[in-house]
């Protein structure tokens, strides 16, 4: 029987080895698949979730970013002359936390900085030892050279921040109008405060691409965020501002007065050419401010304007046909009883024409004219001049004045309103009313900031009525009027005096405290300017508007006409009367 060949037998070790190889292959494949999956997931993550972070990191490597600081806008007058400017005055600061982290010696830093910036080492050391603080001001208003020297020292935790300080070239001459800023360059008073948003400086960022060595390759112009660096233009003429301040201050000192105001308007546009308020102050030295001096009294004070109201009432009466230029009004020898009250003139006279009422400043005459109005009509006529309503110049603390409602008027109240008692006005409101007469009866709202738009207009009285009253007012500045001291050689001057008693805190009026006023228009033939001068509480012998305020008007407006090259319109100057003659002439206004 043939032999049977036995089957091949696979050793156990070889079988196990084969199994291990299979598992290894499977693990390798699984690892490859897992790696592929992780790669796909990672790529997707980079493209979606983490893309912003990596892009930001890359941006930091190749982008150029620089912070810039823009100073507060320059304020200029109508001719581009500077009224308020900002000069670089950097701030020295410290990061005490960083100083502590790098192990720097605060005492050594204080010792090196103290003599350079004029601050005691003890004071600096106290601030530098505040290790929990990251920003501490060490010194404000460095000069640029100091800042450069400190930067060159490269002291740890010490830095320079751009900052500016405000300067006012006219000083106290325009301080009450312009105001001032604080240490953070924020407007605190005056125009700086009310137009702070328009004047404020800004910060912006400059962005571009840079090379590895730090060189800036190109700028991204779209990234600039810069405010327009245009000056802030006012209607003021700094030459006239200075002249008005000089002459008003001279009068205040000469007459030992409490203060005074003056404003000049361009009649055609009603732009403010000068606005002066006394007392004033130095805007660069404010450690002991007199806050009464800080106020702009031209717009913030309202007072009874006295006889300067008479031409305005007369123009309204002529316009309404209640009186004609030929009328003769009985003034009862300067003493007239009305409802148990006496209305008096400074001098006894009989019948007066409207022109003579203005020339001699007759209270009785203008009262009789005023009482021809229905009370509602007279109230409306005075309202149209702008009394009792704010002008809205944009300046802070503007006073609207007071015009009582006609429903409360008695005949005596209606009469006293006509010669400036019982209502209150600001100096700017009064100037606006006189500019209305100069503009042939058209009222334009005064402005202090240059605008492209035409001024708002409103007809108050007819051109004929306004021109007639201007002619009457010319007689006031001539020899027999109450203000020949307001005359200007070579020019026709139309104006009116006012001498108003000040109210008493105990009620009624004081016997020895006055406001001296003069309001006028020049040249009378072709009016260019309207101006009002008010001297508050003049002491001494003279207190009439014709002797205290009128000379200021003459001196200032003579210079204004010359500086602005306005042609003369008179052959010779009216004859001046001496002060004693003025008083005898009833020049109380």
pLDDT at 157: 86
Encode pLDDT of 257-266 as tens digits: 999 999 999 9
pLDDT higher than threshold 50 for residue 140:
yes
* CA–CA gap between residue 523 and residue 520 (Å, rounded): 10
Residue, of 450 and 3, whose pLDDT is higher: 450
pLDDT higher than threshold 90 for residue 339:
no
Q: Is 514 within 8 Å of 546 (Cβ atoms)?
A: no
Apex 202 CA angle, 201 and 203, nearest 5:
145
pLDDT higher than threshold 90 for residue 114:
no
Encode pLDDT of 532-555 as tens digits: 999 999 997 899 999 999 999 999
pLDDT higher than threshold 80 for residue 527:
yes
35 pLDDT tier (thresholds 50, 70, 90):
confident
* CA–CA gap between residue 393 and residue 364 (Å, rounded): 36
Encode pLDDT of 295-315 as tens digits: 999 999 999 999 999 999 999
Residue, of 218 and 350, whose pLDDT is higher: 350
What tokens does 44 get?
């997707």
pLDDT at 124: 87
pLDDT at 581: 43
Share of the chain above pLDDT 90, in %: 57
Apex 550 CA angle, 546 and 556, nearest 5:
175
Residue, of 524 and 215, whose pLDDT is higher: 524
Kindly calculate the radius of gyration of the chain based on its CA atoms and give it in whole angstroms.
Answer: 40
Query: Residues 161-186: what's their mean pLDDT?
Result: 92
* CA–CA gap between residue 122 and residue 127 (Å, rounded): 9
580 pLDDT tier (thresholds 50, 70, 90):
very low
* CA–CA gap between residue 269 and residue 237 (Å, rounded): 14
* CA–CA gap between residue 175 and residue 427 (Å, rounded): 17
225 pLDDT tier (thresholds 50, 70, 90):
very low
β-bridge mates for residue 82, sequence order: 76
Question: What's the mean per-residue pLDDT of the chain?
Answer: 86
Residue 338's SS3 state is strand
Encode pLDDT of 436-467 as tens digits: 999 999 999 999 999 877 878 999 999 999 99
pLDDT higher than threshold 90 for residue 243:
yes
- Cis ω on the peptide bond leading into residue 167 (within 30° of 0)? no
Encode pLDDT of 196-207 as tens digits: 989 987 655 556
Residue, of 299 and 230, whose pLDDT is higher: 299
> Nearest 5°: phi and psi at 128?
-70, -20
Q: What is the number of residues in the chain?
A: 589
Query: Residues 133-154: what's their mean pLDDT?
Result: 89
pLDDT higher than threshold 50 for residue 585:
no
* Torsion of the alpha carbons at 466, 470, 472 and 477, rounded to the nearest 10: 160
> Nearest 5°: phi and psi at 243?
-60, -45
565 pLDDT tier (thresholds 50, 70, 90):
very high
Beta strands in 374-527 (DSSP E): 442-444, 457-459, 494-503, 509-522
Cα torsion 548, 553, 556, 562: sign: negative
Share of the chain above pLDDT 70, in %: 84
Encode pLDDT of 61-72 as tens digits: 556 555 566 788
Query: Any idea which of 31-35, 471-475, 510-514 has the lowest mean pLDDT?
Result: 31-35
- End-to-end alpha-carbon separation of the chain, Å? 167
pLDDT at 460: 97
pLDDT higher than threshold 80 for residue 217:
no
pLDDT higher than threshold 70 for residue 481:
yes
* CA–CA gap between residue 140 and residue 184 (Å, rounded): 10
* CA–CA gap between residue 242 and residue 576 (Å, rounded): 26
pLDDT higher than threshold 90 for residue 426:
yes
Which of 343, 413, 358 is closest to 589 using CA atoms?
358
Number of other residues whose CB lies within 10 A of the CB of residue 304: 24
pLDDT at 576: 41
Query: Residues 497-502: what's their mean pLDDT?
Result: 94
Query: Any idea which of 154-158, 170-174, 488-492 has the lowest mean pLDDT?
Result: 154-158
pLDDT higher than threshold 70 for residue 12:
no
Which of 251, 299, 292, 304 is closest to 272 using CA atoms?
299
Encode burial over 269-282: b for 16+ CB neighbours within 10 A, e otherwise.
bbbbbbbbbbbbbe
The conformation of residue 484, written as its DSSP 8-state character, comes to G
pLDDT at 169: 96
* CA–CA gap between residue 288 and residue 462 (Å, rounded): 51
Enumerate the active-site residues: 307
pLDDT at 535: 97
> Nearest 5°: phi and psi at 540?
85, -160
Query: Residues 141-147: what's their mean pLDDT?
Result: 89
Query: Residues 276-282: what's their mean pLDDT?
Result: 95
Ordered domains of the chain (ranges, CATH): 62-77+170-234 (3.90.1310.10), 90-162 (3.90.1310.10), 238-285+299-584 (3.40.710.10)
User: DSSP labels for 107-153?
Assistant: HHHHHHHHHHHT--HHHHHHHHT-TT-S-EEEESS--HHHHHHHHHH
Residue 280's SS3 state is coil
* CA–CA gap between residue 238 and residue 81 (Å, rounded): 7
Residue 187: which region, alpha, beta or left (left: phi > 0; alpha: psi -120 to 50)? beta
């Amino acid at each position: 029987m043939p032999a049977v060949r036995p089957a091949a037998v696979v050793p156990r070790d070889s079988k196990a080895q084969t199994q291990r190889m299979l598992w290894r292959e499977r693990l390798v494949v699984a690892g490859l698949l897992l790696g592929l999956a992780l790669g796909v997931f990672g790529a997707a993550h980079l493209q979606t979730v983490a893309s912003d972070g990596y892009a930001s990191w890359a941006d930091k490597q190749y982008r150029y970013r620089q912070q810039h600081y823009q100073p507060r806008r320059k304020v200029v007058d109508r001719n581009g002359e500077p009224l308020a400017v900002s000069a670089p005055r950097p701030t020295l600061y410290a990061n005490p936390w960083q100083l502590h982290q790098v192990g720097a010696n605060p005492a050594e830093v204080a010792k090196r900085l103290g003599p350079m910036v004029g601050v005691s080492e003890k004071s600096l050391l106290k601030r530098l030892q505040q290790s929990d603080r990251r920003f501490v001001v060490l010194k404000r208003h460095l000069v640029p050279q100091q800042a450069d020297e400190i930067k060159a020292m490269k002291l740890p935790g010490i830095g320079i921040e751009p900052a500016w300080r405000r300067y006012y070239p006219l000083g106290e001459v325009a301080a009450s109008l312009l105001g001032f800023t604080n240490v953070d360059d924020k407007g605190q008073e005056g125009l700086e405060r009310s137009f702070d948003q328009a004047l404020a400086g800004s910060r912006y960022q400059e962005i571009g691409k840079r090379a590895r060595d730090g060189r800036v390759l190109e700028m991204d112009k779209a990234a600039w965020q810069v405010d327009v660096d245009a000056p802030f233009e006012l209607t003021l003429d700094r030459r006239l501002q200075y002249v008005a301040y000089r002459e008003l201050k001279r009068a205040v000192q000469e007459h030992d007065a409490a203060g005074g105001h003056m404003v000049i308007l361009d009649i055609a546009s009603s732009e403010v050419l000068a606005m002066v308020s006394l007392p004033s102050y130095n805007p660069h030295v404010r450690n002991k401010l007199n806050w009464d001096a800080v106020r702009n009294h031209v717009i913030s004070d309202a007072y009874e304007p006295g006889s300067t109201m008479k031409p305005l009432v007369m123009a309204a009466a002529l316009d309404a046909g209640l009186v004609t230029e030929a009328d003769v009004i009985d003034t009862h020898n300067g003493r007239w009883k009305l409802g148990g009250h006496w209305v008096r003139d400074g001098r006894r006279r009989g019948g007066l024409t409207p022109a003579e009422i203005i020339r001699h400043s007759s209270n009785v005459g203008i009262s009789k004219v005023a009482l021809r109005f229905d009370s509602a009509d007279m109230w409306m006529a005075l309202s149209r001049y702008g009394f009792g309503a704010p002008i809205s110049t944009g300046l802070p603390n503007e006073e609207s004045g007071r015009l009582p409602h006609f429903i409360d008027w008695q005949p005596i109240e209606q009469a006293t309103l006509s010669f400036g008692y019982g209502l209150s006005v600001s100096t700017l409101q009064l100037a606006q009313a006189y500019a209305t007469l100069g503009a042939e009866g058209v009222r334009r709202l005064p402005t202090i900031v240059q605008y492209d738009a035409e001024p708002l207009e409103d007809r108050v009285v007819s051109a004929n009525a306004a021109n007639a009253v201007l002619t009457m007012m010319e007689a006031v500045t001539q020899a027999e009027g109450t203000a020949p001291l307001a005359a200007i050689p070579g020019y026709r001057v139309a104006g009116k005096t006012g001498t108003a008693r000040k109210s008493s805190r105990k009620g009624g009026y004081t016997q020895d405290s006055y406001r001296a006023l003069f309001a006028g228009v020049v040249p009378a033939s072709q009016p260019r300017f309207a101006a009002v001068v008010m001297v508050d509480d003049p002491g001494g012998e003279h207190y009439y508007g014709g002797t205290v305020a009128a000379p200021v008007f003459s001196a200032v407006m003579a210079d204004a006409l010359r500086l602005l090259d306005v042609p003369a319109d008179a052959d010779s100057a009216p004859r001046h009367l001496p002060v004693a003659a003025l008083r005898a002439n009833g020049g109380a206004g």
